Chains A and B, each alone.
Chain A
Amino acid sequence: MSTFGLVWANLFRHRARTLLALFSIIAAFLLFGLLRAVAVAFDGGAAVAGVDRLIVSPKFSIIDGLPVSHQAQIESVPGVAAATHATWFGGTYQTPANFFVKYPVAPREFFDLHDEYIIDPAQLETFERIRTAAVAPEELAAEYGWQIGDRIPIEGDIWLRKDGSRLWEFELVGTYRVRDDENAFAAFLFHYDYFDEARIAQTEGIVSNFVVRVADPERAAEVSAQIDARFENSTNPTRTATEDEASRQFAAQIGDIGLIMNSILSAVFFTILLLTANTMAQALRERIPELAVLKTLGFSDHRVAALVLFESTLLCVLGGVIGIALAWLALGAIGPSLQALLGRIELTAATMLGALGIAVLLGIVVGLGPALSARRLQVVEALRR
């Protein structure tokens, strides 16, 4: 019998006990996986894609809007490589529960600036050509069963049309996807020109923010300051931040709730670990007399101690891996419904590695005491018990 076989057989010596311990470890790590994912989302998402991108927002409140004419001035700031704009549209598709972000944009510019958004060049060209055209992220189109050529009606709330109606209709001409490793916020995109022409006169020419690519990311702070300085004394001053900072600041608005959930739940995770460790250590101690048998058969002191340690670590790692796998499945199921509030929720590599580390550590801590007793064990005395 191989060493692994022996450990495996030992592990299931008390099958019920081991399974119970395993299940509670699984529960602990399932919880850990879910909580870390939510915590990362509360923190403003995993690192945002564009380190070389800035967001220029209205200085006093993101609800204010900026004149689209700012763009030419932003482009003339030294160090700015490219700029485009986006506008918060709000609006409802069928029912308020169908939440997704909708932006009127300048098609070519927008896709040039967001190189993590991948679209078929022919579809982009159609998008540019047809004024009422729209493109959607692939997952969104799949979720609502949209086909290319479908007309998609959106009821506006913020933006009214000149003709007095609230109904905006767009023709879907393409889909795009976000490159896998980027945690970008994908939106339903349509033509800014069409939007601007159709909305009522008082609101013409207003956009929510500008996205800027800087030529040299090292100089991002300097360029930000220059952009803000340019508009400081205008009626529409700006506040410029990197994409990362901007999304972090917005996420901070959810604030205390995230912090509280996290602190309650981390305390709980460690409580469960403690309980599990206690139970496992107990179970191992009860089996010490059996280890005397191994020693009688000629296993060295070190070998027996190593077996015990290996056994407890194996159990913890097994539980950790299954727990994280379950968390991954659960997030796949519930993630999309939370996206509106928290952005994309997913397990990061750091979370998975962290879980593995904790599992190994737990196994060692739990196994150490029994392993030491096993090593010191006097065969004669133990067998007599």
Chain B
Amino acid sequence: MLTQIAQITLMNLRNLPGRLGRSSVIVVGIGGVVTVLTALLAMAAGFSATLDRAGSPDRAIVLRGGSSAAELSSTIDLQRSQYVATLDGIRLASGELYTVADIPKRANLLPSNVAVRGVEQAAFEIRPELRIVEGRNFTPGRNELIAGRSASAEFLGIELGATVQLRQSEWQIVGIFEAEGSAYESELWADLASAQSAFRRFSLISSMRVVLASPEAIESVRGEFEVNPAVDLSIVAEEEFFRNQSEFLTALITGFGYGVAMIMAVGAMFAALNTMYAAVSARTAEIATLRALGFGATPVVISVLVESLALALVGGALGAAAAWFSFNGHSVSTLNQVSFSQVAFDFAVSPGILATGIVWALALGLAGGLFPALQAARLPITRALRGD
């Protein structure tokens, strides 16, 4: 039995190049499905990874009560920020002004929202991953900016030494920083006091970044805020904060990817079925001869299935490769609806995503091959040999 399977399958696969024109329909169709699925999943994964990387388990964000999601709509005054800094469980705190400015994107020259963050020196201690890779840090009290690597790549005129206008004042870019590929790299940073005066937010901040004594300390701080409703503050772990930001768009792109791939898969499956039925009908005489020689039905079924799976695998591999070569590491930028600013990210084609693509390809190959295979097995031998 096993030798029969091996013999027929091998013979069939060896004959495959003769049917190349028709078989390519399966390869191209399934390849297309896998390309789209892989590319869109990689886009979603890249976006959420960029935001996830910005979070650290021992850090948290203090915002005004009711604005648990967005720094932009949060305002904290001096009195409250001083109170937060003295709380038990908070090891280090930095008040930050978060706002957005319109700067043209290099891609379309249209003004888009870039995040501008005014920070105190403690902000750098709180985020040790942030490194200045070109130029130097800004001097407190001056209108100087440092720009994230991605902000510099995406926005026109955000270059070392360049001058840029934010609201009604001129700022010089004195440094470029990296932050392990996180969303912070899409921001412009300035001295808090200078930013407050340029954006007319005297002595007001948006949020506080804090380092917790331990990840559990967040509960004691939260309890403190709850027993003291007049302070009207809330605290959220940094990881959760960024997860909330990526959730919606990641789910949207992933859903879109699966939805489109599903519809395409239906199209590709019908094309595969059509091709496999044709392949079986072209092999009618051959199959009947084999059966007459004493080969069983199972080896015939398996040989047809293996043919369609092999074609599907080739298609899947080509599709995954196409997505990898055209998109992996490709940088794009979009509006993060929650922070209301542009976030640049890279497509991330991971082994897991590639595996998903291949699994889809094989499933489609199976779906396209099964019924034609069963039909092949049911061919009435005598009639088939007569050529009916």
- Is B271's CB under 8 angstroms from A276's CB? yes
Interface 9-mer from A109-117, A133-141, A151-159, A304-312:
A151-159
Q: Mark B141-178, 1 if CB is under 8 A from A, else 0.
A: 00000000000000000000000001110000000000
Judge if B295 is at the interface, Cβ distance under 8 Å: no
Judge if A373 is at the interface, Cβ distance under 8 Å: no
- Is B36's CB under 8 angstroms from A16's CB? no
Instruction: Provide the bound-state CA to CA distance between A30 and B264, in Å.
Output: 9
Interface 9-mer from B9-17, B80-88, B95-103:
B95-103
Q: Mark B72-83, 1 if CB is under 8 A from A, else 0.
A: 110000000000
Judge if B334 is at the interface, Cβ distance under 8 Å: yes
Judge if A166 is at the interface, Cβ distance under 8 Å: yes
- Is A276's CB under 8 angstroms from B333's CB? no
- Is A275's CB under 8 angstroms from B263's CB? no
- Is A253's CB under 8 angstroms from B342's CB? yes
* Cβ-closest chain B residue relative to A167: B66
By a CB distance below 8 angstroms, the chain A residues around B256 are: 261
Q: Mark B87-114, 1 if CB is under 8 A from A, else 0.
A: 0000000000001111001011011110
- Is A338's CB under 8 angstroms from B270's CB? no
The number of inter-chain residue pairs (CB within 8 angstroms) is 141
By a CB distance below 8 angstroms, the chain B residues around A261 are: 40, 256
Q: Mark A12-41, 1 if CB is under 8 A from B, else 0.
A: 000011001101100110110011000000
- Is A61's CB under 8 angstroms from B264's CB? no
Judge if A90 is at the interface, Cβ distance under 8 Å: yes
By a CB distance below 8 angstroms, the chain A residues around B194 are: none
- Is B100's CB under 8 angstroms from A271's CB? no
Judge if B133 is at the interface, Cβ distance under 8 Å: no
Interface size class of B (residues with CB under 8 A): 35 or more
By a CB distance below 8 angstroms, the chain B residues around A164 are: 232
- Looking at the complex, which one of A16, A254, A282, A338 makes contact with B22 (CB distance below 8 Å)? A282
Q: How far is the CB of A241 from chain B (nearest CB, A)?
A: 11
- Is B274's CB under 8 angstroms from A256's CB? no
- Is A61's CB under 8 angstroms from B102's CB? yes
- Chain A: interface residue total (CB-CB under 8 A): 50
Judge if A278 is at the interface, Cβ distance under 8 Å: yes
Judge if A260 is at the interface, Cβ distance under 8 Å: yes
Judge if B266 is at the interface, Cβ distance under 8 Å: yes
Q: How far is the CB of A153 from chain B (nearest CB, A)?
A: 13
- Is B260's CB under 8 angstroms from A31's CB? yes
Judge if A272 is at the interface, Cβ distance under 8 Å: yes
By a CB distance below 8 angstroms, the chain A residues around B29 are: 271-272, 275
Interface residues of chain A: helix, strand, loop or mixed (majority): helix
Q: How far is the CB of A99 from chain B (nearest CB, A)?
A: 10
Instruction: Provide the bound-state CA to CA distance between A274 and B342, in Å.
Output: 38
Judge if B39 is at the interface, Cβ distance under 8 Å: yes
- Is B73's CB under 8 angstroms from A90's CB? yes
Q: Mark A47-85, 1 if CB is under 8 A from B, else 0.
A: 000000000000011111000000000000000000000
By a CB distance below 8 angstroms, the chain B residues around A27 are: 263-264, 266-267, 270
Judge if A257 is at the interface, Cβ distance under 8 Å: yes
- Looking at the complex, which one of B36, B66, B334 makes contact with A264 (CB distance below 8 Å)? B36
By a CB distance below 8 angstroms, the chain A residues around B102 are: 60-62
- Is B43's CB under 8 angstroms from A255's CB? no
- Looking at the complex, which one of A61, A255, A279 makes contact with B100 (CB distance below 8 Å)? A61
- Is A268's CB under 8 angstroms from B264's CB? yes
- Is A16's CB under 8 angstroms from B277's CB? yes
Q: Mark B55-77, 1 if CB is under 8 A from A, else 0.
A: 00000000001110110110000
Q: A16-B277, A61-B102, A276-B267 are in contact. Are A260 and B25 (CB under 8 A)?
A: no
Judge if B35 is at the interface, Cβ distance under 8 Å: yes
By a CB distance below 8 angstroms, the chain B residues around A253 are: 110, 112-113, 334-335, 342
Q: A156-B66, A264-B36, A268-B32 are in contact. Are A61 and B25 (CB under 8 A)?
A: no
Judge if A341 is at the interface, Cβ distance under 8 Å: yes
Judge if A5 is at the interface, Cβ distance under 8 Å: no
* Cβ-closest chain B residue relative to A326: B263
Can you show 22 pairs from A to B with CB atoms below 8 A apart? Answer: A20-B273, A24-B266, A24-B270, A27-B263, A61-B99, A61-B100, A61-B102, A61-B113, A64-B167, A253-B112, A253-B342, A254-B335, A255-B332, A256-B333, A261-B40, A267-B32, A268-B36, A275-B28, A275-B271, A276-B267, A282-B278, A341-B248
- Shortest 5 CB-CB contacts between residues of A and residues of B: A27-B267, A256-B332, A253-B335, A24-B270, A24-B267
Q: A255-B112, A341-B252 are in contact. List 17 more A-B contacts (CB 8 A).
A: A17-B274, A24-B270, A63-B340, A90-B73, A157-B73, A166-B65, A253-B110, A253-B335, A257-B43, A261-B256, A264-B35, A264-B40, A265-B36, A272-B271, A275-B268, A279-B274, A279-B275
Query: A-side interface residues toward B, CB under 8 Å?
Result: 16-17, 20-21, 23-24, 27-28, 30-31, 34-35, 60-64, 90, 96, 155-158, 164, 166, 237, 249, 252-257, 260-261, 264-265, 267-268, 271-272, 274-276, 278-279, 282-283, 338, 341
